[in-house]
Amino acid sequence: MMDQINLGLVGGGTVGGGVWQALQRNGDLMAARLGLRLNVVRMAVRDPKRSRGFTVPASVLTGDWSEVVHDPKVQVVVELMGGVTTAREVVRAALKLGKPVVTANKALLSAHGPELFALAAKHGTNLYYEAAVAGGIPIIKALRESFAGNRITRIAGIVNGTCNYILTRMKLEGAEFSEVLADAQRLGYAEAEPSLDVDGHDAAHKIGILASLAHGFWVRPETIHTEGIRHISKLDIQFAGQLGYTIKLLGIIQPIASPASAAAKKTKKGATDGQASGIQVSVYPALVPNTHVLASVNHAFNAVAVRGDTVGDTLFYGRGAGQDPTASSVLGDLADAALDLRAGNHHRVPPFVTHNGQGKVASMDTIASRFYVRLDVSDRPGVFARIATVLARAKIGISSIIQPEGHTGETVPVILMLDAASNLAVRKALTAIGRLPVVKSNPVMLRVENLD
Ligand code: NAP
Ligand code: HSE
């Protein structure tokens, strides 16, 4: 008789339901591939009486997660309930029993990752989290295993399906932010609390996990510079398009050269990774050139571009949110968990290893980039000169300045494209520009990322 691994699911919503249905569909195929069968013996949900669009035997369903975790038949616990409070209790309880846990919960890992990974190690078991980052894309496995022989020199990614879906529809259809957010919720992309998506926190949770894996020190969420997409207007999407760019919510992880190593590079004395003054770990909407592949990643698709010193450039693309893609990553983790259990090796690949005790996140103020700025100004002579004077004093170059045709009234938009400058310098200059009497509303500032 074929070996069987018994699973206990905590959560039977979008992702949990996807896992249940995918196992019904592809359970035989997985059994043939793995040589063992994955069998859901318990599933906890908040309301066992609720109709779910799929049938789970009453003997399997419960409203009490601890029945699932403590059921002696359950060998692997799958946490798909979301949130950070009860979910933490669920995961802690399972790990303490030495049961491997599979989770899709990036908020939980971001808030309590070090504690949970330490608990898994202490109890000789493992925590698998492929579905926590970029939905169906196997980026965790790639970073943790396939790129083990690389120093990661840059990760740039679109890792929030909801924001990408909203920005895509705003660009392609000229739709309003609020109209498309409702659709993202209906399609199962958005978090239960959609501000996690649109304010950039979900992307920051994921980018923090990737940064921790890539650079070997735990990146605390509060150190990640995070901006969302609420303030992105149709007007900025339209102007960016006219300039040859697409606005995307980008996560960026890259070592920032220290001033000493940058100077050494300029004088060709050579600079090394070891001289980085910190790692940029940030999430913000940015203008991406239309010629760059990330500009063409649309709707709920995600893409993560990873550059390693040995491999060079790689690109991972796929559906970043939704029932089936996320279930696919959970099933991949379940295959690993089951095979690890059968081999009696609970941590063939440790979930997360601190390999760089010295790492730190660089302050956003010190990071330089190019900038797009939109100002709402009085339509009268001398305005450009006043703005240019402030920028000149701050030693910030202007690469182009446009007053688009067709805008009339007391105020008109002016678009500035700025040369590379530090975030601190640009922030200070825009504060001064915002105080000019000819500038009628707060300047809109977006970074331009060429991703060369
Ligand atoms: P969801 O649709 O809201 O499902 C949550 C499930 O958890 C529901 O079945 C709910 O029960 C159950 N639940 C909630 N509280 C519970 C409790 N105290 N005890 C037992 N069960 C409880 O959420 P989801 O979209 O599937 O997301 C689940 C996790 O996957 C989250 O961590 C999320 O961040 C992550 N994730 C989601 C996606 C996506 O595209 N949706 C993608 C990647 C990762 P009821 O059904 O009775 O309400
Ligand atoms: N709410 C998340 C997103 C789900 O939109 O990307 C996938 O993690």
Distance 23 CA to ligand 2 centre (A): 22
The residue whose CB lies within 8 Å of the most ligand 1 atoms, and thus the one to mutate among 80, 86, 116, 186, is 80
Q: Give the start-end residues of each E strand in 274-367.
A: 276-289, 301-308, 312-319
Give the tokens for residue 317. Answer: 């693309």
Q: Which residue's CA lies nearest to atom 17 of ligand 1? A: 46
Distance 355 CA to ligand 1 centre (A): 33
CA distances from 293 to 10, 172, 234, 447 (A): 37, 17, 22, 18
Q: Which ligand is nearest to the CA of 324?
A: 1
Side-chain-side CA neighbours of residue 269 (13 Å): 7
Distance 191 CA to ligand 2 centre (A): 6
In this structure, the number of other CB atoms found within 10 A of the CB of residue 280 comes to 21
The model carries a pTM of 0.95
Give the tokens for residue 240. Answer: 């960016």
Domains of the chain with bracketed CATH? 3-135+323-343 (3.40.50.720), 140-319 (3.30.360.10), 365-448 (3.30.70.260)
Q: Based on the number of CB atoms within 10 Å of its own CB, is 413 exposed (0-12), middle (13-18) or buried (19 or more)?
A: middle
Cα-flanking dihedrals φ and ψ of residue 62, to 5°? -150, 160
Answer for the pair 164, 300: CB distance below 8 angstroms, yes or no: yes
Angle (CA) 163 170 297, round 5°:
55
**Percent helix, percent strand, percent coil in the chain, to nearest 5:** 40, 25, 35
The residue whose CB lies within 8 Å of the most ligand 1 atoms, and thus the one to mutate among 15, 109, 206, is 15
Per-residue tens of pLDDT for the chain, all 452 residues: 669 999 999 999 999 999 999 999 999 999 999 999 999 999 999 999 999 999 999 999 999 999 999 999 999 999 999 999 999 999 999 999 999 999 999 999 999 999 999 999 999 999 999 999 999 999 999 999 999 999 999 999 999 999 999 999 999 999 888 889 999 999 999 999 999 999 999 999 999 999 999 999 999 999 999 999 999 999 999 999 999 999 999 999 999 987 655 555 555 543 344 456 899 999 999 999 999 999 999 999 999 999 999 999 999 999 999 999 999 999 999 999 999 999 987 677 888 888 887 799 999 999 999 999 999 999 888 999 999 999 999 999 999 999 887 777 789 999 999 999 999 999 999 999 999 999 999 999 999 999 99
Is 206 marked active-site? yes
Which candidate in 99, 171, 206, 248 is catalytic?
A: 206
SS3 6: strand
Side-chain-side CA neighbours of residue 114 (13 Å): 9
Please identify, by atom number, the ligand 2 atom nearest to the C-alpha of residue 191: 1
Answer for the pair 197, 190: CB distance below 8 angstroms, yes or no: yes
CA distance 216 to 252: 16
Give the tokens for residue 101. Answer: 């846990």
pLDDT at position 261: 57
Answer for the pair 190, 260: CB distance below 8 angstroms, yes or no: no
Which amino acids bring their CB within 6 angstroms of ligand 1?
10-16, 44-47, 50, 65, 80-82, 86, 104-105, 131, 135, 188-189, 191-192, 321-322, 326
Please identify, by atom number, the ligand 2 atom nearest to the C-alpha of residue 133: 8
* Torsion region of 11: left, alpha or beta (phi above 0 gives left; psi -120 to 50 gives alpha): left
Please identify, by atom number, the ligand 1 atom nearest to the C-alpha of residue 82: 32
Q: Which residue's CA lies nearest to atom 46 of ligand 1? A: 13
Return the closest-CA partner of residue 254 out of 203, 332, 308, 187. 308
Q: Which ligand is nearest to the CA of 102?
A: 1
